[in-house]
Amino acid sequence: MRVVVKRVILIGLAVILSGPVAVARAAEDSKPTPEQIEEARTFVVNNAIFTLFHEAGHMLIAEFGLPVLGREEDAVDALSSILLLEGDSEELDVAIQDAADAWFLTDEAKDGGLTDTDFLDTHALDRQRAFQIVCMMTGADPEFFKKFADSIDFPQSRREECAFEYERTKNSWFGLLEPHYVGEGPGSNMTVSYEPTGDENMDFFADVLKEAGVLESIAQSVGAKYKFDDGIKLTAKSCGVPNAFWDPQAREITYCYELAVEHIVLIDGYFKREQTAEN
């Protein structure tokens, strides 16, 4: 049932989000504004980048045989945050805020309905993942991310702890990666491919990711900077489920187009709630 609902939303959004139709439809009250459409595109791309850096973390651990003290999912979320925060670009500073927002929205969408499955998961709870990303943000640059941290009432005492946590985590990760770092290269060649979706309703999402070059951004910021054996594949494709994963046997990071759809549904829900609150 859920799949059917999603499919309807998917078709609707693909139409709404595409080009001139978007502008025409924005005139109607219930349709997203051009600003919201742009925000939704950026939100999808930014979350794809966060997810791909996360998967790249699993890849680096496997390829270099790095030790992991604690839960690997937490460690690679931290790496993804660090790579965005140390990327020294305005876009990446926005990207990490979108990643935190996505986990807050995912949590809100569950409406408190947590079960043992959530507590047993290899990942921390969605809301914990969100707060931990904010912890890395405020730890890296408390002034720059003050507004964001204030907006979610992130406690001052926690911000102070996060400054230490960020430094320690960053130094641990970069210390482990240092022997493999080649700086300006030559690094490793990764094979990038955006597979056909096999579903014309999904093409729009594939195009957004391809235009933004999300896979290429991983090849440039991880592949080109670290030396491992060539041939790692970066693939975007339809999987039937909203997911992303690293496969150590195939040496492949896969981003499923369905995840882009999930992020669109999340932010669309947020826009609608915002609009209802205003009216």
Q: What are phi and psi of 252, to 5 degrees?
A: -140, 135
In angstroms, the CA 217 to CA 55 distance is 13
Residue appearing with tokens 């090849």: 219
In angstroms, the CA 138 to CA 86 distance is 13
Instruction: Output 39 or 73, the one with its CB closest to Zn ion.
Output: 73
Q: Least distance (Å) from Zn ion to the CB of residue 126?
A: 13
Q: What are phi and psi of 227, to 5 degrees?
A: -105, 105
Question: Which two tokens mark 97?
Answer: 């805020």
Q: Least distance (Å) from Zn ion to the CB of residue 76?
A: 6
Q: Least distance (Å) from Zn ion to the CB of residue 63?
A: 15
Q: Contact region for Zn ion (CB under 5 A) — 27-35, 66-74, 93-101, 167-175?
A: 66-74
Instruction: Output 75 or 264, the one with its CB closest to Zn ion.
Output: 75
Instruction: Output 73 or 216, the one with its CB closest to Zn ion.
Output: 73
Instruction: Output 40 or 214, the one with its CB closest to Zn ion.
Output: 214
- Reduced to 3 states, what is the DSSP secondary structure of residue 190? strand
Q: Least distance (Å) from Zn ion to the CB of residue 56?
A: 10
Size of the site for Zn ion (CB under 5 A): 1
Question: Which two tokens mark 160?
Answer: 């102070």
Please give the order of strands across the beta sheet that includes 232-237: 190-194, 232-237, 252-256, 244-247
User: Which residues make beta-bridge pairs with 256?
Assistant: 237
Q: Least distance (Å) from Zn ion to the CB of residue 249?
A: 16
Instruction: Output 80 or 138, the one with its CB closest to Zn ion.
Output: 80
Q: Which residues between 71 and 90 bind Zn ion (CB under 5 A)? A: 73
Q: Least distance (Å) from Zn ion to the CB of residue 58?
A: 6
In total, the chain counts a number of residues equal to: 279
Residue appearing with tokens 């210390």: 175
Instruction: Output 73 or 203, the one with its CB closest to Zn ion.
Output: 73
Interior/surface letters 54-82, b for 16+ CB within 10 angstroms, e for the rest = bbbbbbbbbbeeeeeeeebbbbbbbbbbb
Q: Contact region for Zn ion (CB under 5 A) — 32-40, 68-76, 215-223, 252-260?
A: 68-76
Q: Contact region for Zn ion (CB under 5 A) — 67-75, 80-88, 101-109, 229-237?
A: 67-75
> Within 10 A of 24 (CB to CB), how many other CB atoms are there?
10
Helices 2-17 and 203-212, axial angle in degrees (round to 10): 60
Residue showing the smallest CB distance to Zn ion in the complex: 73
Instruction: Output 22 or 124, the one with its CB closest to Zn ion.
Output: 124
Q: Least distance (Å) from Zn ion to the CB of residue 259?
A: 13
Q: Contact region for Zn ion (CB under 5 A) — 70-78, 178-186, 205-213, 268-276?
A: 70-78
Q: Which residues bind Zn ion (CB under 5 A)?
A: 73
